[in-house]
A and B are shown apart, each in its own frame.
Chain A
Amino acid sequence: MISYILRRTFAAVILLLVVSAVTFAIFFLLPRLAGQTADQLAQQYIGKAPSKADIAAVKHNLGLDQPVYVQYWHFIKGIVAGADYSIGPTTVHCDAPCFGYSFKNHQAVWPELTSRLPITLSLAVGAAVLWLVSGVIAGVISALKPRSVLDRAFMGIALTGVSLPMFFTGNLAILLFRYQWPIFGSEYVPLTENPSQWANTLFPAWCSLALLYSAIYARLTRSGMLETMNEDFIRTARAKGLREGTVITRHGLRAALTPIITVFGMDIGLLLGGAVITESVFSLHGIGQYAVQGITDNDLPKILGVTLLAAFFVVIANLVVDVLYAAADPRVRLS
């Protein structure tokens, strides 16, 4: 088990290196290959009418005057060992892990990511709890009473949930719960500061995001339950004289939930890389919003930082899912 995790962690590091190299190549190498000069790249980050000297200086500051592989080496070195940046009057030390500085406003990327992570985390985890609970409950009920009114109602809501874009549900939620019935706040407060206001502000966002996802989970649970409830071991459980509730939860749901863990872990991992649209709609200053800003400004270090962070979470989620799966299903061995 320990050696498995160590091995997987090692593989994850390699994978992240590859991801970083590919991302780096896409944003730093491709434009060069497409014929853009370093001057042109640098010019994007200066205001109006730059002089040749301005461009040269910016190019130097951003490291664009060096070959791409040297830039990549500096980037990786910064993450491992930190880096020094001398822009302007003072030299700033950027502690490891140093993800570099924004090309646009020269603010360090890593502190920005860490300051935004709690928001994205709050959004993702809160929504995840909601969608998991509601999706699984709806799915179980639907599976136990297939084709009933309740089943059709749940599946109808689920279908609507996946069909509606976040722009619609999110804005509707905001309109209803912040303006029509102003019961929910709009100012994000960290959990550590004021848990009730934290939940109060995030609740409409959780619901909107959960609506989108719970649909999938309801359908997954429903089909999983329909399948497991026809399994032989369910008949065995009943033959023992167990109460139907016990049969459903301890035997049916237990087996049906295992594949859902996988999907759930991956979804959380993906969301931690930033819920782009939800964060925009609910004006949350999370990772996703940072990513959007990076892309609008063509701010390479920001894009790189978010990409790596997102990849990191996906890799971690994969690992956690595999370990959890092995813990849940004794037939699976980690090797």
Chain B
Amino acid sequence: MTELSKTGAAVGEPTSGRQAPEAFLEVRDLKVHFPTDDGVVKSVDGVSFSLEKGQTLAIVGESGSGKSVTSLAIMGLHRLGTRGKNVRMSGEIWLDGKELVNAAPDEVRKLRGREMAMIFQDPLSAMHPYYKIGDQIVEAYRVHHDVSKKVARKRAIEMLDRVGIPEPAKRVDGYPHEFSGGMRQRAMIAMALVNNPELLIADEPTTALDVTVQAQILDLIRDLQKEFGSAVIMITHDLGVVAEIADDVLVMYGGRCVERGPAGEVFEQPQHPYTWGLLGSMPRIDRETSERLIPVKGSPPSLINVPSGCAFNPRCPYADIPKGNVTRTVRPELEQVSTGHWSACHLSAEDRQRIWTEEIAPKL
């Protein structure tokens, strides 16, 4: 995430856009709004980041924080389906030199599955129940490759083998419901990687799986990433996963980025009270079982009526520390804390440092 400082500075300067960046994937001030009868749902409200090949970015947040919509927007999937008919979207998404927000839908479609692929949370519902696993992989391959079914089938078996499914030549003719959860997710990964995509987005790929299988799947993704050299966006609410796999972390809250930076730094020196909350609620093997988890109190904000000021202020135990009610009136902007590490919080650096070292870190 070496480019972050550069691109981060570009936020709020739209005139400097429209120029292909050097990063493999660059997202600039992305906004995805869904007008509804009750008001505009601001699912994503100004998010920027970039990502290089071979790197892994973890986007972390609660459900409804906008992390999934961000990934769907990159894939161009947010505007398909009944909900996407009147979506409003702005900003820029650059993938390998091509801008996707303003590209023709069919252009984006041709990139989907080939240059960028996605793994979904629940492989059982994400795979068509009526088609054989192999046929679904074959279909994914043949959209982008003009080959015979036979060739595609060979490729499907090869991919199943690659993701560690035993007896792939046999399982290729199995149906999704005949696979175990882990095997299904492996198949899903095989399907996503069948076209050697350069960007792989994994949307909570391990949530639906049990813990031992989770680790296997993460290992698999990491191995495959090494092998294919793809960029990976890992969407998760589980910081354990982040610690395991991510190079960089982006923490989202209420449709906006509240903190981002290199994984090690975010874990060692988290800057945002929300990040603290996330860390506090993370189960750890090295933690003593008697110690209770510290959950983030309250519920995620409404995306229609986002709280004024800092969106996190109703849940933030430190909201009253900054003077002049600023947390409730002024929206904090991302500020660089250290190289590549950004945070959006009204607390002063001193206060943050004090709270972190005195109150939070000892409990973790």
Q: Which residues of A contact B (CB under 8 A)?
A: 146, 226, 229-244, 251, 254-255, 258, 328-331
Given contacts A241-B109, A331-B175, A331-B177, contact A236 B82 (CB under 8 A): no
Considering the chains assembled together, what is the distance between the CA atoms of A242 and B195 in angstroms? 13
Contact: A243 with B109, CB < 8 Å?
yes
Q: Is B363 an interface residue (CB 8 A)?
A: no
Cα distance A231–B120 in the bound complex, in angstroms: 12
The answer to whether B128 touches A236, judged by C-beta atoms less than 8 angstroms apart, is yes
- With contact pairs A239-B113, A242-B143, A255-B128 given, residues A229 and B82 touching in the complex (Cβ less than 8 Å): yes
User: How close is B216's CB to chain A, nearest CB, in angstroms?
Assistant: 21
- Nearest-neighbor residue (CB-CB) of A237 within chain B: B128
**Closest beta carbon of chain A to B72's beta carbon, Å:** 8
Q: Is B117 an interface residue (CB 8 A)?
A: yes
B77 within 8 A of A: yes
B235 cross-chain contacts in A, Cβ below 8 A = none
CB-nearest residue of chain A to B105: A244
How many B residues face the partner with a CB closer than 8 A?
A: 30
Does B111 lie at the interface of the complex (its beta carbon under 8 Å from any beta carbon of A)? yes
Contact A240 B140 (CB under 8 A): yes
| Alpha-carbon distance between A235 and B125 when the two chains are bound, in angstroms | 10
**In the complex, what's the smallest C-beta–C-beta distance from A9 to chain B, in angstroms?**
27
Q: Which residues of B are found within 8 Å of A226, using beta-carbon distances? A: 82
A230-B81, A242-B139 given; A330·B126 CB < 8 A: no
**Given A231-B125, A241-B113, A242-B139, A328:B81 Cβ within 8 A:** no
Residue of A whose beta carbon sits closest to that of B178: A330
Q: Whole-angstrom distance between the alpha carbons of A235 and B83 in the complex?
A: 12
Other A-B pairs, 5, CB within 8 Å; known A229-B82, A239-B77, A328-B130: A236-B118, A236-B191, A240-B143, A240-B191, A241-B113
At the interface, yes or no: B144 with Cβ under 8 Å from chain A?
yes
Question: Is A233 in contact with B139, judged by CB distance below 8 angstroms?
Answer: no
Asked whether B158 is an interface residue with its Cβ less than 8 Å from the other chain, the reply is no
0/1 per residue, B120-140, Cβ < 8 Å to A? 101001111110100000011
Which residues does chain A contribute within 8 Å of B129, judged by CB atoms?
A: 233, 255, 329-331
Q: Which residues of A contact B140 (CB under 8 A)?
A: 240-241
- Most chain-B Cβ atoms within 10 A of its Cβ — which of A230, A231, A238, A254? A238
Asked whether A236 and B126 contact (CB < 8 A) given A146-B82, A230-B82, A330-B177, the answer is yes
CB-CB under 8 A for A240 and B139, given A235-B126, A329-B129? yes
- CB proximity of B195 to chain A, nearest CB, Å: 8
- Contact of B109 with A254 in the complex, beta carbons under 8 Å: no
**Contact in complex: A232, B120 (CB < 8 Å):** yes
Supposing A235-B81, A331-B175 touch, asked if A240 and B126 sit within 8 A by C-beta, the answer is no
> Does B112 count as interface, using CB distance less than 8 angstroms?
yes
Nearest CB of B to A251, in Å: 6
Q: Could you say which residues of chain A place their CB within 8 Å of the CB of B120?
A: 232, 235-236, 239
A251 touching B128 by the CB < 8 A rule?
Answer: yes
A229-B81 CB under 8 A given contacts A235-B120, A237-B128, A251-B128: yes
Chain A residue at smallest Cβ distance from B128: A233
Q: Is B75 an interface residue (CB 8 A)?
A: yes
B126 / chain A contacts, CB cutoff of 8 Å: 232-233, 235-236
Judge whether B113 and A255 touch: CB under 8 Å. no
B122 nearest CB neighbor, chain A only: A232
Measured between alpha carbons, how far is A234 from B127 in the docked complex, in Å?
A: 8
In the complex, what's the smallest C-beta–C-beta distance from A142 to chain B, in angstroms? 12
- 14 A–B pairs (Cβ distance < 8 Å), ordered by A: A226-B82, A229-B82, A232-B120, A233-B127, A233-B128, A236-B120, A236-B128, A237-B128, A239-B113, A239-B192, A251-B128, A254-B130, A255-B130, A328-B130
